[in-house]
Amino acid sequence: MHSENLVTIRTSIDCSNIKLCIQQIKYSLSSYQDLAFLIPDGWSNSDLIMIVTPIPPKFLIFFNNIQDMIAAAKTLQKRLPLDMHHKIKWYNSDMTVEYKENEVNHLILGETWGLCMMESFRMGMDIPDILLVIQWRAMCKLLTLW
């Protein structure tokens, strides 16, 4: 590497569109009621047609264990009509590559509104319209959180 062939680029890492916040858990951890804000009470297909209640923002929720991940996804699905349960899914490293690729495509296309997952979700994933990224419960590894 010769200095005459190097280019130095300085840029800010300030991302004004990214906000970090912490919320205290109000309800029993096993109820997942603190995630209920994602799917408002009484949401239905007619809301989608009438645009009375907007479609939930595209979201990712990270969990520290598979049992929590699946239970939370099922709890959120129950807040939707049965024919819309496919809008929220879970995703982990135990699933096939084909399944995971399909689910990422469904998320990108907006066919899936949210995924409950472990940290196995692909690093460097570029899905620009994800509006919420949630870490369920505190975790000890700051690097994993970031």
- The tens place of each residue's pLDDT in the chain, 146 residues long, gives 688 888 888 877 677 777 778 888 999 999 999 999 999 877 665 545 544 567 888 999 999 889 999 999 999 999 999 999 999 999 888 889 899 889 989 999 999 999 999 876 665 567 888 889 898 987 766 666 55
User: 78: helix, coil or strand?
Assistant: helix
Cα Dmax for the chain: 64
- Which amino acid, residue 33? Q
Q: Which residues pair with 13 in a beta bridge?
A: none
Q: Centre a 10 Å sphere on the Cβ of residue 32 and count the other Cβ atoms it contains.
A: 21
The Cα–Cα gap between 30 and 102 comes to 29
Q: What is the dihedral of CA 120, 101, 112, 17, to 10 degrees?
A: 60
